[in-house]
Structure 1
Amino acid sequence: MLLTIVSISVLVVLAYLAFVKFYPSFGGDVTTERQKIYVTSAQFQDGKFKNTKNVPKDPSFSETLSIARKFFFTKVENGKPQAELPVHAVDSLSIAEYKGGTRMMWFGHSAFLLQMKGQNILIDPMLGEVPAPHKMMGSTRFNLELPIEIEKLPKIDAVLISHDHYDHLDYGSIVKLKDKVGQFYVPLGVGVHLEAWGVQDAKIKEMDWWQGTTFNGLQFICTPAQHFSGRKLNNGQSTLWSSWVIQSETEKIFFSGDSGYSSHFKEIGEAYGPFDFALMECGQYNKLWPDIHMFPEETAQAGVDLKAKTIMPIHWGAFKLALHSWTDPIERVTKKAKDLNQHWIAPEIGTFIHLEALEGNSTEPWW
């Protein structure tokens, strides 16, 4: 019996190592030479990136098994929509020929197309079906159709990525996008995945927290988040995670990436606010991981901390990655936003959001 158990365990380990080695979606690895570049970062210690607070705590093996068991075997009432969500189809010419003011379009979850100052910018463009290294290893997107398929997107001037988790950085999406993208902006270390997938080094700019860069009249500032990283069992925290500030001479947008609630929202608000629009993580939370994802009430408060005129709850409406109902995030955050007098919108997938008309917008509960 012992020999059988050991043999099975060895086979499982060997199968995993082979899968990781030969399946490209796992991405690249940060080398020792590359780590030497990151030692100047205040977030990089002992070969890994850290949050400002000492979170999250590494779970023990038994705790990991307990979380996995709850996630895979707990039945969640209303965990997924009963029918496909409303999606507005977008024509490629309407994007390519657009000459108006700043506007955004939501793909669901945390993926956006931003058109600002004549630039086409994608944010966390996870446009695949499953947020996992293989289709058989995760739940599928709520909607079979996207507003527009990757192949029909026009030239993309820049892509911003917040971190390397599968629901934000998707191998299939990057492979389809890479030849039509001018520049990728990513937190420290995330470039190794893009390089592994054939993106030219010259098209990748890695950035640390509080570091900014200018791009065709816009400013991109890599700002803090409280989260973690990793695409396989042995490379956790080898790359940095972040939020992003995007600003022109007249407008400011904040994108939270994934983050637990902490003081960095006030710090960013003091440094770069007030914001015209803040895209705020709201979904995939649980009391088992309170430091790495915000509860909806915290999302609304973070919007106040940022001095955001309008917030939009994101990180919901596409995938089931936690144990709450699929509508719980939007129901709770809108209630708290009302209590805090924080203006919010929650448009349907594929709807264009015009910054100049944000404060006049209201949302019907389409969910």
Structure 2
Amino acid sequence: MAPLSLPSHLPRSVGARPAPDAHTASAQFRDGAFHNSEPASLLAEESRFRLARDFARKGRSGKPSAPIPLVTPSIIKGAAPCSATWLGHATVLLEVDGHWVLADPVWSSRVSPFTSLGPKRHHPVPLALAGLPELSAVVISHDHYDHLDLRTVEWLTQNQTMPFVVPLGIGAHLRAWNVPEDRIVELDWEGSFTTADLTITCTEARHFSGRWLRNNTSLWSSWVIAGPTHRTFFGGDTGYSRAFAGIGERHGPFDLTILPIGAYDHRWPDIHMDPREALLSHRDLHGGVLLPIHWATFDLAFHPWAEPVERLTAEAAEVTLALPRPGERFDVTGALPSSPWWRP
């Protein structure tokens, strides 16, 4: 069934909603919305008005005090067995057994339906879209603006040929943005898509979705990206979940786990992980190297800018961390970036 259009006065970037009965076969879908397997409160004891007021008053604590050092990525001729380039926030260019996979690509300067309002980048993307290699797939974790970006999707649709592999319901946005039907792969949790010898599996996350007033009309997910010899886990945006232990048992161990460490707060403890929970998730997943994401690029919470990575490094006993500057490529079997570049 065709997706539901939104009122014409809204920006095109809002996207579209799936038809109400489009995903009733999913175990995650009931009463007209998707649900977490573990209940998750979005704003514990807080109104949206009070939250907006506190954001307006919080000052510069969530912003860096100096320019963020960037690295211009060096794109090699062929993708490596297991490497990654963090491009800021949750955008990661992955190399898995000869395939290039781009996760949560966002190149816009603001993560908002509007071009002049909303969270603005602390640093530019260190790689131009035109500098991307030929991709085997794009994976998207959910439809929030800091993970699903209209302008980036448009460019990738026009200039690449790879499929967009997404959770249920996000296809409605892509269709509204003129992505061809044969390039849209929508999956439920534990559903898989295979291209050549690369298998991409949609796995559980603990979060929510929504681009306007109604939440949870599309699903949210993490991703397993597996080749013949290497496996990567991309967490996207999630709170801690007991489901990660099961994912580790079914799909692990992982050479690389990519997990969010920022934008946490006591007001939304279930939908964003803090650094301690990221480390716990990494262990549950049977991860090798941990790449922390979802910090440094946008101001989305109340903690100081570098607090997530400082807490992570202080608590990461016996966990192997990769701590690249935005744009810095690393190989999981080589020397990992570890210098505290975020300190003045």
Q: Check whether TM > 0.5.
A: yes
Shift of 1:178: 0.9
Q: Runs in 1 of length 4+ with deviation above 3 angstroms?
A: 16-19, 57-60
Q: What does residue range 170-189 of structure 1 map to in structure 2 within 5 Å? A: 170-179=149-158, 180-189=160-169
What is the TM-score with the length of structure 1 in the denominator? 0.87
Distance (whole Å) between structure 2 residues aligned to residue 333 and residue 117 of structure 1: 29
Q: What does residue range 1-367 of structure 1 map to in structure 2 within 5 Å? A: 19-20=9-10, 23-32=11-20, 35-36=21-22, 38-56=23-41, 63-77=47-61, 79-90=62-73, 94-95=75-76, 97-98=77-78, 100-144=80-124, 146-179=125-158, 180-233=160-213, 235-338=214-317, 341-357=318-334, 360-367=335-342
Q: What is the CA deviation profile of residues 100-124 of structure 1, one whole-angstrom value per residue up to 9, with x for unaligned ones?
A: 4332111110101112333221100
Structure 1: which amino acid aligns with 2:49? L
Give 3-state SS (helix, strand or coil) of 1:276's partner.
strand
Q: What is the CA deviation profile of residues 336-364 of structure 1, one whole-angstrom value per residue up to 9, with x for unaligned ones?
A: 112xx21111111111121332xx52501
Distance (whole Å) between structure 1 residues aligned to residue 48 and residue 126 of structure 2: 37
Structure 2: which amino acid aligns with 1:364? S
Where does the alignment leave 5 or more consecutive residues of structure 1 unmatched? 1-15
Distance (whole Å) between structure 1 residues aligned to residue 82 and residue 286 of structure 2: 20
For this pair of structures, how many residues does the alignment match? 336
1:9 matched residue in structure 2? none
Shift of 1:88: 1.1
Q: What is the CA deviation profile of residues 263-316 of structure 1, one whole-angstrom value per residue up to 9, with x for unaligned ones?
A: 011111111121111001110111000010011111111111111111111001
Structure 1: which amino acid aligns with 2:47? E
Structure 2: which amino acid aligns with 1:296? P
Give 3-state SS (helix, strand or coil) of 1:75's partner.
coil
Shift of 1:155: 2.8
CA contact (8 A) 2:101 2:139 kept: yes
CA contact (8 A) 1:151 1:176 kept: no
Distance (whole Å) between structure 2 residues aligned to residue 224 and residue 30 of structure 1: 20
Where does the alignment leave 5 or more consecutive residues of structure 2 unmatched? 1-5
Distance (whole Å) between structure 1 residues aligned to residue 313 and residue 184 of structure 2: 37
Structure 2: which amino acid aligns with 1:25? S
Structure 1: which amino acid aligns with 2:155? K
Structure 1: which amino acid aligns with 2:15? G
Structure 1 residues 306 and 121 mapped into 2: Cα distance closer, same or farther (>3 Å)? same
Distance (whole Å) between structure 1 residues aligned to residue 248 and residue 167 of structure 2: 20
Q: What is the CA deviation profile of residues 221-249 of structure 1, one whole-angstrom value per residue up to 9, with x for unaligned ones?
A: 1000000000001x310000000011112
Taking only aligned residues, the RMSD between alpha carbons, in angstroms, comes to: 1.8
CA contact (8 A) 1:101 1:355 kept: no
Distance (whole Å) between structure 2 residues aligned to residue 296 and residue 57 of structure 1: 19
Shift of 1:147: 2.1
CA contact (8 A) 1:76 1:324 kept: no
CA contact (8 A) 2:262 2:293 kept: yes
Answer 1 or 2: higher relative contact order, Cα 8 Å, separation at least 6: 2
Shift of 1:323: 0.6
CA contact (8 A) 2:96 2:226 kept: no
CA contact (8 A) 1:183 1:204 kept: yes
CA contact (8 A) 1:227 1:292 kept: yes
Q: Could you tell me the percent identity over the aligned residues?
A: 38
CA contact (8 A) 1:159 1:181 kept: no
Distance (whole Å) between structure 2 residues aligned to residue 118 and residue 274 of structure 1: 19
Structure 2: which amino acid aligns with 1:223? T
